[in-house]
Chains A and B, each alone.
Chain A
């Protein structure tokens, strides 16, 4: 099975500053999808951003952007102008593009935003 590694169990950032969350993954496939999900205290999983492996351009969604390095199998999330509402657990996920569309998640990074 594919493995997804998030090496930062906890991170903190000052409000309005920028923070980068790391994610690496292991795969032998060339076609796949990568995601970042946010899980606030409500425990509801919310999609933040996604990246198709065949695309060289890094995905961006408002204040959220990724740095996708396919050769290095790295997929980091950058949050700019951090807001209090960004405080949550963030999960990196890998998706196989085959039947069942299995997703594999990392262990998560808990982000604290300091006012």
Chain B
């Protein structure tokens, strides 16, 4: 069966510090991968998605970036965090074909920028 991991689960970082959140998927190959941010009391905002190694599409321009160095690894990064980067970050995957259905979500990372 497929599983998706995210770490760390919780992170507190000062403003201006770098960020690296990691997501890995097991039990499938060539998945579509996604990063979302959920601000307090808000919906999910799609940040990045990837259809393959090294292929990243950005939905919202900001100081975050994403990379996919391996087929089942998706990394969210920042060189300098802002207070507005605080939130709950969710990684998700879906089967990479037209007839696929839902996205499968990881447990999330709660980021607090102080």
A and B interact: yes
Residues of A within 8 A of B (CB): 1, 6, 33, 35, 43-45, 47, 50, 91, 97-108
Known: A97-B98, A100-B32, A101-B100. A43 touches B107 (CB 8 A): yes
A-B contact pairs, 27 of them (CB 8 A): A1-B59, A6-B43, A33-B101, A35-B102, A43-B107, A43-B108, A44-B108, A45-B92, A45-B105, A47-B102, A91-B43, A100-B32, A100-B49, A100-B57, A101-B32, A101-B49, A102-B46, A102-B49, A102-B59, A103-B46, A103-B92, A103-B103, A105-B43, A105-B44, A106-B43, A107-B42, A108-B42
Interface of A is mostly: loop
Q: Which of A43, A47, A103 has the most CB of B within 10 A?
A: A103
Task: Determine the chain B residues whose CB is within 8 A of the CB of A107 once the complex forms.
Answer: 42-43
How many B residues face the partner with a CB closer than 8 A?
A: 25
Task: Determine the chain A residues whose CB is within 8 A of the CB of B57 once the complex forms.
Answer: 100
Residues A44 and B94 in contact, CB atoms below 8 Å apart: no
Q: Judge if B34 is at the interface, Cβ distance under 8 Å.
A: yes
Task: Determine the chain B residues whose CB is within 8 A of the CB of A45 once the complex forms.
Answer: 90, 92, 103, 105
Closest A-chain residue to B95, C-beta based?
A: A101
Task: Determine the chain A residues whose CB is within 8 A of the CB of B7 once the complex forms.
Answer: none
Residues B51 and A43 in contact, CB atoms below 8 Å apart: no
Beta-carbon contacts under 8 Å, B20-56 to A: 32, 34, 36, 42-46, 49, 51
Q: In angstroms, how far is the closest chain B Cβ from the Cβ of A81?
A: 24
Contact among B32, B34, B43, B108 with A108 in the assembled complex (CB-CB below 8 Å): B43
Task: Determine the chain B residues whose CB is within 8 A of the CB of A6 once the complex forms.
Answer: 43
Closest A-chain residue to B107, C-beta based?
A: A44
Contact among A91, A97, A100 with B44 in the assembled complex (CB-CB below 8 Å): A91
Bound together, the chains give a CA A108 to CA B59 distance in angstroms of 20
Task: Determine the chain A residues whose CB is within 8 A of the CB of B59 once the complex forms.
Answer: 1, 102
Q: In angstroms, how far is the closest chain A Cβ from the Cβ of B56?
A: 11
Bound together, the chains give a CA A102 to CA B94 distance in angstroms of 10
Bound together, the chains give a CA A101 to CA B100 distance in angstroms of 9
